[in-house]
């Protein structure tokens, strides 16, 4: 069989700077010593990485296609501002990267960490989706998390998105320190958020290490489960589909970029600590933080198949039972009886209850030793 051309049409870029470090965050980021000098260093990192990345792509027979998704994450990429959009425009031109006609181009935004000028410049180069880190609209909660912005900053940003009729998503976190003690009213917070008509919500359960400064103040598992299921039911009733463990979208507003991860498609990545994937070659790569160098991981066929199953099950891509031996049918029946999945022919999809239990369900699946 002739080798099909392998293409990459999805790109993630990691911008690693923040104004302040939130006490729970495990993403790679730092406070710049001097934002201009640091951004300059970041630009040379991206410049030098391109050739390394090109070599990797060529080794495995990949070429670029017009980008259907671009995602600028961080860190706080809205701090990159118009210097970033100007750099990226030239970078894309220099390396002949084109945006496809309907390219979904997302940039993460922090409340209080953006300017109108910066936003306009990103929009002028094609950014058309904005992801806002809110975490909570409760003043006490954001103080616990050491967020650097105020609630007013959040509303100011939401107002900007709403007035300009932009496609935007909001990040919230559940299971926050002292939320049980203070009886956090997450539904009340979401009702306030809905006034700005977001297209999408990401709702993450806080994960922290044991040495986290508020480890002892974390709520009980029962509280977190109740909070998660209340949120899922509420958002569903408001017309947001629970389409992935932590994600809810209005019709037509699912994150196309993230769907590429959940479908195990190839996604290129650039920037310190960013991780990319060449799907057909089964190669994952991760960029070093200080030098534009990458480490590679080659997945075996079985590792790839299990990972693909995990990624598909955690979203409404769904799992095809035909891809697995009969043993899984019994398990699927058990899950179905407990309300963890719905079935449509040979496809299975998790319910909100199933998404909540994804880790233990995947444990059940792997323990069958299917492969």
What, of ligand SAM, ligand SF4, none, does residue 171 touch, CB below 5 to 8 Å by kind?
Answer: ligand SAM
> What is the smallest separation between the CB atom of 22 and ligand SAM, expressed in angstroms?
6
- Residue from 26, 33, 210, 221 in contact with ligand SAM (CB under 6 A): 26
Please give the distance of CA 221 from its chain centroid, rounded to a whole number: 24
Question: β-strands 200-205, 168-174: how paired?
Answer: parallel
C-alpha dist (Å) from residue 359 to 33, 218, 245, 249, 336 = 40, 20, 11, 22, 17
C-beta closer to ligand SF4: residue 132 or 317: 132
Residues lying near ligand SF4 in the complex (CB under 6 A): 18, 21-22, 25, 27, 29, 74-76, 110, 133
- Which of 13, 103, 193, 206: binder of ligand SAM (CB under 6 A)? 206
Dump the DSSP string for 186-251. Answer: HHHHHHHHHTT--SEEEEEE----TT-TTGGGPPPHHHHHHHHHHHHHHHHHTT-EEEETTEEE-T
Distance CA 356, CA 230 (A): 12
21 binds, among ligand SAM, ligand SF4, none (CB under 5 to 8 A by kind): ligand SF4
Shorter beta-carbon distance to ligand SF4: residue 22 or 208? 22
Whether the Cβ atoms of residue 309 and residue 365 lie closer than 8 Å to each other: yes
- Smallest CA-to-CA distance from 204 within 282, 272, 131 is with 131
User: Closest approach of Cβ 366 to ligand SAM, in Å?
Assistant: 23
Q: What is the sign of the dihedral through the CA atoms of 23, 26, 27 and 29? A: positive
Which listed option, ligand SAM, ligand SF4, none, makes contact with residue 207 (CB within 5 to 8 Å by class)? ligand SAM
Q: Can you tell me the distance from the alpha carbon of 106 to that of 108, in angstroms, rounded to the nearest whole number?
A: 7
What is the smallest separation between the CB atom of 367 and ligand SF4, expressed in angstroms? 34
CA gap 207, 185 in Å, rounded: 20
Q: Which does 79 bind (CB under 5 to 8 A by kind): ligand SF4, ligand SAM, none?
A: none
Residues with Cβ within 8 Å of 139's Cβ and at least 6 positions away in sequence, in order, are: 151
Q: Give me the least distance between CB of 74 and ligand SAM, in Å please.
A: 5
Q: Within 130-189, which residues bind ligand SAM (CB under 6 A)?
A: 133, 135, 171, 173
Task: Confirm if 326 and 346 have CB atoms less than 8 A apart.
Answer: no
**SS3 at position 94:** helix
Which of these segments, 20-28, 46-54, 81-89, 179-187, binds ligand SAM (CB under 6 A)?
A: 20-28
Options 38-46, 85-93, 202-210, 221-229: segment touching ligand SAM (CB under 6 A): 202-210
Query: How many C-beta neighbours within 10 Å does residue 112 have?
Result: 17
Contact characters 76-115, ligand SAM, x per CB under 6 A: x-------------------------------x-x-----
Task: Determine if 73 is a binding residue for ligand SAM (CB under 6 A).
Answer: yes
> Which of ligand SF4, ligand SAM, none sits in contact with 55, Cβ below 5 to 8 A by type?
none
Nearer to ligand SAM, 10 or 131 (CB): 131
- Work out how close the CB of 132 gets to ligand SAM at its nearest, in angstroms, rounded to a whole number: 7
3-state secondary structure of 361: helix
Residues at the interface with ligand SAM (CB under 6 A): 24-27, 73-74, 76, 108, 110, 133, 135, 171, 173, 204, 206-208
């Amino acid at each position: 069989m002739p080798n099909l051309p392998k293409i990459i049409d999805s790109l993630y870029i990691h911008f690693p700077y923040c104004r302040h470090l939130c006490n729970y965050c495990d993403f790679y980021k730092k406070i710049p010593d001097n934002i201009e000098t640091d951004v300059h260093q970041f630009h040379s990192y991206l410049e030098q990485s391109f050739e390394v990345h090109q070599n990797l792509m060529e080794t495995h027979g990949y070429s670029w296609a017009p980008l259907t998704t671009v995602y600028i994450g961080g860190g706080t990429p809205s701090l990159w501002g118009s210097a970033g959009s100007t750099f990226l425009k030239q970078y894309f031109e220099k390396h002949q990267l084109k945006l496809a006609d309907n390219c979904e181009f997302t940039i993460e935004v922090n409340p209080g960490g953006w300017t109108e000028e910066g936003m306009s410049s990103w929009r002028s180069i094609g950014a058309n989706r904005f992801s806002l880190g809110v975490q909570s609209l409760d003043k006490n909660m954001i103080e616990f998390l050491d967020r650097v912005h105020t609630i007013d900053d959040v509303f100011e940003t939401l107002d900007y998105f709403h007035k300009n009729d932009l496609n935007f998503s909001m990040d919230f976190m559940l299971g926050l320190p002292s939320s049980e003690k203070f009886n956090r009213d997450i539904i009340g917070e979401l009702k306030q958020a809905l006034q700005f008509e977001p297209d999408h919500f990401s709702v993450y359960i806080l994960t922290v290490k044991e040495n986290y400064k508020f480890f002892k103040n974390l709520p009980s598992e029962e509280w977190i489960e109740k909070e998660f299921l209340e949120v899922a039911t509420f958002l569903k009733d408001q017309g947001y589909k629970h389409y992935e463990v932590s994600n809810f979208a209005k019709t037509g507003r699912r994150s196309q970029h993230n769907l590429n991860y959940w479908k195990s498609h190839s996604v290129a990545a650039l920037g310190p600590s960013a991780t990319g994937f060449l799907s057909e070659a089964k190669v994952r790569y991760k960029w070093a933080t200080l030098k534009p160098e990458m480490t590679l991981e080659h997945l075996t066929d079985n590792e790839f198949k299990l990972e693909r199953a995990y990624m598909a099950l955690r979203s409404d891509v769904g799992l095809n039972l035909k891809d697995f031996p009969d043993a899984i049918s019994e398990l699927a029946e058990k899950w179905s009886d407990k309300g963890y999945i719905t079935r449509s022919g040979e496809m299975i999809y998790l319910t909100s209850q199933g998404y909540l239990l994804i880790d233990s369900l995947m444990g059940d699946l792997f323990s069958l030793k299917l492969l």
